[in-house]
Amino acid sequence: MDVATLPPEVQEYIYSIEEKADKAVRAWENRYASLEEQYKLLLLQKFGRKSEKELLEERQQFLFDSEESTPPEQDTKDSTTVIKAYQRKKPGRKPIDESIPREEVIIDIPEEEKQCACGHTLTRIGEETSEKLHVIPPKMWVERIVRPKYGCKACEGSGDEENPAVRIADVRPAIIPKSIATPSLLSFIIVNKFIDHLPYYRQEKRFERIGIHISRQNMSNWQQAAFEKIEPLIERLKEHIHSGPVINMGETPVQVMGESEKKNTSKSYMWLARGGPPKKPAVLYSYRETRGSRHITDILNRFSGYLQTDGYEAYKTALAGNADIIHVGCMAHARRKFHEAAKASKKAGSAQEAINKIKKLYAIEGTLHGKELSPEQFVAERKALVEPVLEQFKEWLEKRSLQVPPSLLLGKAIRYTLNEWPKLVRYLDSPYLTPDNNVAERAIRPFVVGRKNWLFAGSPKGAESSCAMYSLIETAKQNSVNPNDYLIKVFELAPSARTTEDWKALLPWNIDP
């Protein structure tokens, strides 16, 4: 039947039905594509590579994609490719560190073989050397402290309290009084747990194998006692973080037992703040029962400067009306969403194109950091190079946002990036900012790795003391100080610290392990 022969009102009705049917079909197609992407992404997250580095196969897929997945745009204005200098690594085993003690063993031929067939004595003309590494299990010893007592046999004392009849030397201040734990033992246990991720029950078994009996409960109690002694140092660390121009923040879940009015299976959160003067960075872990914005306000109390985070909405809520803090976004989180879209979608061309545009920003950043520029020169040159790239990227995002359904992973990545855009470009204003929040991500990673081993914190107090230990260890690492040596020195000097200046002297950049 020819629709054109029907009355106009019937034609209009038929066309409206067809239009609705087309919209319904497109909606179901988008829904199917979205579910297919989610399914593929879940498979990749569970079984695939988690690295965001490109694979050859991922690049090759553009050979077979069509339409939306056309190869990324090429910049025809500049065909010059800058390649960083590369030094090929020498193959073979790396030499053993010269700081490790050497014991020379000479393997010589017998004396009778040092005579030549002609009758002359052989002369040493050289030598061949090789090195082998030996290991001695952890060496432990007991320090037996003897304090002689002295008394007067002629009298029972003068009654003067300053000159008693029986006299003995004072006990030296200890991080844990009346305990067998020394600074070195305590540091050894803390480093094993918070750097090597060995829970206390595993350490208990290790000690038993060498004939020492230290229960996991004792180790936990020592950790708590040490934390209570060094709390003023953690406060100085927080003050130091607030003294810098930038704070990077992040958070990750943690399971804590024994929280009031909460199930043991519920989530709590470990918050991280990294800041301080650029050449003396510090890291502070903070345990909180929730992920609420009030914790951000508490951690940033009286701070003024730049705050760089991911796109979590609680940061926006916490900073509302705060003119002293400028919120900066994270380009790595935007890139990650495009990377997920590229991995999960059949047509990954547009996602890869966005990734390539973001790569240009990092290439410029790397080039500028390789130059010797003053802070003012760095900011000016970075703006001149980066702003055109950002402008082109934003135009591309706005154009693609009209073409890609928002339910698809690519649509979500585009929408996230556009929503975060004002914060993403603020890094241009300060030489102390980078395009991303990766310094916080890297600082929180040791905690995430450790969590896979010890699984949960036994109590809120245990979570707080763990925060303190992680804070000291990661701050030492950020300042190229050996964490074990640093903790030994802190545990040695903390019992004698009294004033604020005493505690400041125990910060990693002020101490000589």
| Residue range(s) defining the domain that contains residue 345 | 330-436
pLDDT of residue 158 exceeding 90: no
306: in domain: no
55: in domain: no
Look at residues 328, 343, 134 and name the one whose alpha carbon lies nearest to residue 248: 328
380: in domain: yes
Contacts of 143 (CB under 8 A, 6+ apart): 182
42-46 contacts at long range (C-beta below 8 A, 24 or more positions apart)? 44/343, 44/344
Q: Which helix (H) or strand (E) holds 230?
A: helix 216-242
Which residue is it, tokens 């760095």?
378
pLDDT in tens, 407-440: 888 889 999 999 999 999 999 999 999 999 999 9
pLDDT in tens, 24-79: 777 766 676 677 667 666 776 666 666 666 543 444 444 444 444 444 454 444 54
405: in domain: yes
The rounded distance, in Å, linking the Cα atoms of 48 and 41 is 9
Give the 3-state secondary structure of residue 180.
coil
Region 118-146: mean pLDDT is: 87
pLDDT of residue 324 exceeding 70: yes
- 265 or 347, higher pLDDT: 265
pLDDT in tens, 68-115: 444 445 444 454 555 556 666 667 778 888 888 899 999 999 988 889
353: in domain: yes
393: in domain: yes
Query: To the nearest whole percent, how much of the chain has pLDDT over 90?
Result: 58
29: in domain: no
364-368 contacts at long range (C-beta below 8 A, 24 or more positions apart)? 364/389, 365/434, 365/435, 366/84, 367/82
Count Cβ atoms below 10 Å from residue 340 Cβ, excluding itself. Answer: 21
Domain count along the chain: 1
pTM, 2 dp: 0.79
402: in domain: yes
Which residue is it, tokens 């500028």?
368
